Structure 1
């Protein structure tokens, strides 16, 4: 049995120099609105503004930079839903190395296009990351290409750990750090760097509830596969933690929490509106956790925005989902008299309440309707939950039968 090799602080410190001219020292933005939500100073570590749009360039470059000449000549291969793919492609191209990336079917088109633009050959294989990773391993065995794992390698974790060093420099009195987690490379690296220098800082991993492999794995004491992965956060949809990342998360991370799809949507929308940050669903996970906690007295708190590579079509859907989750969109079914002026009166009431009607649909045939009634289905935009509740009260006070 091969002995498990784990990185240490020296490896993270050593990764800084090669990355100096490759990866950006990303901004740390103080967030007043998030501070107001949690009742403690809050900061955003903006890895969504990193080269290639995510933190992944740090680990990918560290791993590939460390290859010998003979290994470089064989080229590299990777598997990724998009962010690691772009990191590997850019890192390999900048070092003059051939790269091939296996992506799951249905990977976001912007991530595919960017990966090709950075110089990689892209091959689609499987429907989830683990299947793409199997294809990448087979390619490595057949061709001799070096597999650059998306998270489960000491050099990759060390490269991601440079984020933790920057956090300590930028917020010296930080008390809590929340990190999106899929396979665990980023949170393992950050925890490694931070705990070595400030063991009192709490490090919390955040996973999507529909794709959370770490809770079950930690309970079992070993990496366990999470099946039936369902989440919009493709960047953290990893069904099986790695051996390296599992050991580090088990030993160094203080807690693992999960967030719902609604919370991810609400966080992405809030980051757009309040922080003016474009963040992919996975990148918004740490903020989603803070928004769900509401109160957090262990500040200052740093939430890592791990990536900003979001498909515009998905972004539009997530914005609508987030607005619905926040009470900004409501779908109402209102029964009105089927007579001239009935619809106009209803819309007048809605307009007077300050809500904006986005869509109107009539339904005249239903077993639940009397012959002189019609059901009107409205999609309305409100200012939030309180305003939506006020609209419902107003309609019911005016005698309307309302569901929604």
Structure 2
């Protein structure tokens, strides 16, 4: 995303506060962000906040003599690689549908020749209204991209669809939109023509119909790696255990619950050139899961465990179907590098990404990670960075190794 230019239009709604985080994340990835703030949007966030995070001037007035002389609403929209409307209120979506141009935001949207991505946000009844649905259908028919809305609690106290997508979801949609624009104009990622397989999240191994064995993995790192591989052109399949994260756009996602299901999904996805096992698979499962809920009747019931299949090892010895590059993770709480080196030799994979998942590290469920890349030739420590940045760096390593 480095060097890309995003024109962010912030309209009215409590979800406008999420636009601040979106700007920060875009800037972290090297994108230039310029903002248009509507009059209604300024009731929720300030021009100063947007300017401070975007490090650029914020525009709001259609009839500003200075702005029109220096920039102009037409040039403002055409200077961007992508226009993002977040939040996109019902009012602004209606203006976009009917070609209204009575403020700077609607005028810029009407004057642009660049892709537009909208993140709707409104009350559930407004979202469900036939007028809104008709407007969205027509906008999509004209090529406007959308992300969300999500289901959840509303600021008004109601529950349902209408919550704006989370900043990371919008960010993924922005990356997909920019990549789509690049592909349409003749661009191609360095991993184009290759197939990739990524596992992500935890597995849930049933003890009885209501209990299971699992771990604390959120799936953030695996999902970020799958997204990055797809963005670099690889035909990517994500095999995900239970996770609260949305399916990444632009790739195939297979949902599983258990380690045995995950292994089967991986095997049916072969052949691939790249396999990244980022899932935190439960090492053991119940040897005989109870068919009914186990009751507390005096002493605790004995739980007999049996080993789960080793997905990383299985992919590493897949014979003629073995991927060219098999990468695993070593999540450790002590002696991280030493144990990862031993795992590399034992599993037969090509690389291990070793990370510290001790409770104080904040890795499980958090947004940051600190990696040691373990290869046969040595250890390469990486500085702490976001999980998205880890994924991007890993993709560069993969591309270099595969001569891309």
Q: TM-score normalised to the size of structure 1?
A: 0.28
**More strand, by proportion:** 2
Higher relative contact order (CA 8 A, sep 6+): 1
Q: TM-score normalised to the size of structure 2?
A: 0.28
